[in-house]
Structure 1
Amino acid sequence: MNALSSTTVVFIDDDDDLRAAHVQGLELAGFATRAFAGGHDALKTLTPDFTGVVVTDVRMPGMDGFEVFKRIQAIDEAIPVLLMTGHGDVPMAVKALKDGAYDFLTKPFAMDTLTAALRRALEARRLTLENRQLRALYAATREDDDRLLGESSAMQHLRQTIAQIAEADVDILIAGETGVGKERVARTIHRQSDRRGKPFVHVNCAVLPDAIFAAEFFGVETGTRLDAGAPLSRKSVGKIEKAQKGTLFLDDIEGLSLPLQAKLLRVVEARELWVLGADEPRPIELRIIASSRSDLGEAVDAGTFRADLYYRLSGVTLKVPPLRNRKEDILLLFQHFLVAAASRLKRPVPSLTAHVARHLQAHDWHGNVRELEQYAERYALGLDVATVSEPGLVDADQGLPERVAAFEAALLRETLASCQGSAAEAMKRLKLPRKTFYDKVNRYKINIRDFRVK
């Protein structure tokens, strides 16, 4: 915790009377303020985690305000610095703005002008620090790829179970709804096992016709004729063989036909691979992890899935809980996905609005983690109109003007995002005159630059 953790304003001015008057006015306005007669002492108290704003006079003996600003930039260039200038210093203040100063006030100025500027600067600082925390969270989770995000009891239990079985080298069935993260679980098991340095081969069992799937899955020997085509001129290595010594992940295994299930059973039981066109099987050494989004036990009863294959695969079964059953994890996951999306799209991380927070908890997330990730990407682009206008998600205390304003602001952001920050194109699509457009942009504090692709 830094020395100024409870301070919102550092005020620097060598004039004792003016300094005392401004500090008194700021404290009456609710700002926790610490005053200094010069820059040297003030700089000693600033650190990169300072949560407030620096206000400094420009003309001071020894170290002037511009030098103070430069040294603050060396500590943390995102600390907002407001310069108090005389009329003769305005050109230099404008240059300082281009160099990163937050704002400047020309003397004499009203206390209301100063407090309004401080509130804007403090909000900017809050967002900066919040975004850093989110980026740190994202970096930490990227460095620790084995971590399955979530602090709910269900996720803690899942992580503990994975730690117990990862090195046991048994085959595993992962059950869960669409989008819960079954592949992520499978990759986590692989990385925590002794096979971590070997291949992880993902096979989608529900996308290809049987003949094509068999060839890609089992492989084909040179000279083998597939259907009515010409004999293959060279051997085609199948995905099972590519997974040798590693992990074979059979995603959506319920999509396999019964004939293919019969061929897979030999691989599971005997760890032998019959390549199409081969004269004899060859031994394979791998771990098999299968996933299913439907109840395989019911599929066995219905005759669409082989009982012997089911019992071979389901000796160890992991159930990944749907997102609606672990709502306490939603905010953490959303923040992680939001920072990832903003980093990928090269956009600033938007702050979490009250509307979105309510949406995150109220929505059922039938698409689970995958749907949440897609929503975070749309939100990073400013496409949050559906959220603020969705019935039941508006603040019950808001009147019609507030609700209309929320919708209007969201529509402006959506249009700017789709236009990649082109104000001219946004005005055209929204059919707004230039003055009306910019009045609304300023009213809702929308920064058009945020929507431009960098």
Structure 2
Amino acid sequence: MSQAVRGQVLLVDDEQMVRQATEQWLKMSGFEVISCSGAEQALAQLDEAFPGVLLTDVKMPGMDGLQLMREARSRIAELPVILLTAHGDVDMAISAMREGAYDFIEKPFVPERLVETINRACDKRRLMLENLRLQQDLASRSGIDAKLIGISPAIQRLKREILALAALDTNVVIYGETGTGKELVAQCLHEFSSRNSRHFVPINCGAIPEALIESELFGHEAGAFTSAAKRRIGKFEHADGGTLFLDEIESMPPHLQVKVLRALQEGVIERLGSNQPISVDLRVVAASKADLREEANFREDLFYRLNVAQLHIPPLRERLEDVPLLFAHYVRQAAAAHDRNSRNLSEQDQRTLQGYNWPGNVRELKNVAIRFALDQRASLAELLSAHTQPVVFEAPQDKPLSLALQVAAFEAEVIRQSLMRHKGNIKSVMDELDLPRRTLNQKMVKYGLNRNDFLSEADPEQSA
């Protein structure tokens, strides 16, 4: 069986015997070698797509190794260059590293050390080219490819389904785990439809207190209730001619589901405090983490009114080939937004990226990518560790909990105690802890707290 190529080396040395011996050793070690006797010959081999590293002697007639390094790196930014130096040239080689040389090896060199250094340099060059490819790929994208980033079969299939449904103008239910990008998919359905000149109106049914959600959806007249100082247009009316996106629709109160169903059936709404019917023409896209057919409190007739078509968003762990492209996109986006230089992944970062299964999906990946872009010193492994540790509270027997774990454990216990005091009443917990609904939901998921575990046996249906 042939040996896998470990990388490509452009070897430059004017001494034929040294060059031939070095070439033979590198080929035996699994490298592809291009051998040159002088700098001018080597420069003819270099272009932006050159996949390997430059290994050059320093002392050469004509253009020496340092001049070759400078010229090569002026053509190919960050090209790894390894210098072969005599013992007396060490100070000069160290100075060259300040100019950007990858490393230097003293003659006579230990072959194993040379191979190890070249191997690391080749890995670095591969990562550079991969980052360059990702940047070029992202820059060249347009249409739905610029909106939904990914090359996996699962995401390509989803793109085709979105474009097909966008043209049909039917109601759609989007299913997907938390963080998979349900609102982005809904935006694509709107943007690539005939309604794209009108409003796309999102509303998270789980993030608005029950007492306010009816007004949010249908609007109200001045004086309709105590705090209604003036008329307010609701989401249904604002979305007239466009698309209304109902996120977390499984959390919509049953009594409100009846009014939503009537609005969809008749194309008419009434503001709170008014008897005047208002005609609306809109498309409804709903999203849910759970199968609506299995939700006991979700009306079957509303389900069938909404469920004309379905879209299922795959979790990120089922399309891991999309992770590098997505991560590079969000790193570049964050760097540009905060006026930072875009940061490339190290070899270890790349392994970490590919080895993590992203339980929080694209939302988690985006958050980590932003921190990676802004914290230029932290490795990806360190960021992921800080990101995921707070959900685990068991420390090794011989080691106390870290500060981050202790803070997270305290926060989880505060929320748990509040849920117990209020018997699972989410509104009361929000008020007591001064937390928005979305934030509380996220923390409950993070710490494995389920509202149903705290409901009073005497009052299992108390409001959320």
TM beyond 0.5: yes
Shift of 1:67: 2.0
Shift of 1:225: 4.3
* In 2, Cα distance between equivalents of 1:136 and 1:49: 13
Deviations 1:25-59 (A, max 9, x none): 43344433222121111111112222221122223
Compared CA separation, residues 213 and 138, structure 1 to 2 (3 A) = same
In the alignment, does 2:292 pair up with 1:293?
Answer: no
* In 2, Cα distance between equivalents of 1:11 and 1:274: 79
Query: Which range moves more in the overlay, 376-385 or 110-119?
Result: 376-385
In the alignment, what sits opposite 2:325?
336
In the alignment, what sits opposite 1:311?
304
Shift of 1:372: 6.5
SS of the counterpart of 2:223? coil
Shift of 1:73: 1.0
In the alignment, what sits opposite 1:15?
15
One-letter amino acid of the counterpart of residue 261, structure 1: Q
What is the RMSD computed on CA atoms of the aligned residues? 3.6
Deviations 1:223-245 (A, max 9, x none): 3242x34x51x433322333233
In the alignment, what sits opposite 2:71?
71
* In 1, Cα distance between equivalents of 2:213 and 2:264: 17
Number of paired residues? 370
SS of the counterpart of 1:32? strand
Compared CA separation, residues 123 and 268, structure 1 to 2 (3 A) = same
SS of the counterpart of 1:277? coil
Shift of 1:282: 2.6
One-letter amino acid of the counterpart of residue 224, structure 1: G
In the alignment, does 2:59 pair up with 1:59?
Answer: yes
* In 2, Cα distance between equivalents of 1:380 and 1:12: 36
In the alignment, what sits opposite 2:419?
none
The alignment's TM-score, normalised by the length of structure 2, stands at 0.68
In the alignment, what sits opposite 2:44?
44
Unaligned runs of 5+ in 2: 336-341, 373-378, 390-403, 405-464
One-letter amino acid of the counterpart of residue 262, structure 2: R
Percent identical pairs in the alignment equals: 37
Contact 2:323-2:353 within 8 A present in 1 as well: no
Compared CA separation, residues 61 and 184, structure 1 to 2 (3 A) = same
Find the partner of 1:263 among 253, 259, 263: 259
Compared CA separation, residues 39 and 288, structure 1 to 2 (3 A) = same
Contact 1:338-1:349 within 8 A present in 2 as well: no
SS of the counterpart of 1:214? helix
Contact 2:187-2:200 within 8 A present in 1 as well: yes
In the alignment, does 2:234 pair up with 1:238?
Answer: yes
Shift of 1:371: 5.9
SS of the counterpart of 1:145? helix
* In 1, Cα distance between equivalents of 2:156 and 2:13: 54
* In 1, Cα distance between equivalents of 2:59 and 2:66: 9
In the alignment, does 2:148 pair up with 1:147?
Answer: yes
Shift of 1:7: 6.7
SS of the counterpart of 2:167? helix
In the alignment, what sits opposite 1:440?
none
In the alignment, what sits opposite 2:411?
none
* In 1, Cα distance between equivalents of 2:173 and 2:204: 15
Compared CA separation, residues 40 and 191, structure 1 to 2 (3 A) = same
* In 1, Cα distance between equivalents of 2:250 and 2:326: 29
Contact 1:342-1:349 within 8 A present in 2 as well: no
One-letter amino acid of the counterpart of residue 132, structure 1: L
* In 1, Cα distance between equivalents of 2:314 and 2:34: 51
In the alignment, what sits opposite 2:223?
224
Unaligned runs of 5+ in 1: 390-413, 415-454
The alignment's TM-score, normalised by the length of structure 1, stands at 0.69
* In 2, Cα distance between equivalents of 1:77 and 1:135: 15
Compared CA separation, residues 118 and 258, structure 1 to 2 (3 A) = closer
* In 2, Cα distance between equivalents of 1:21 and 1:176: 59
* In 2, Cα distance between equivalents of 1:21 and 1:321: 53
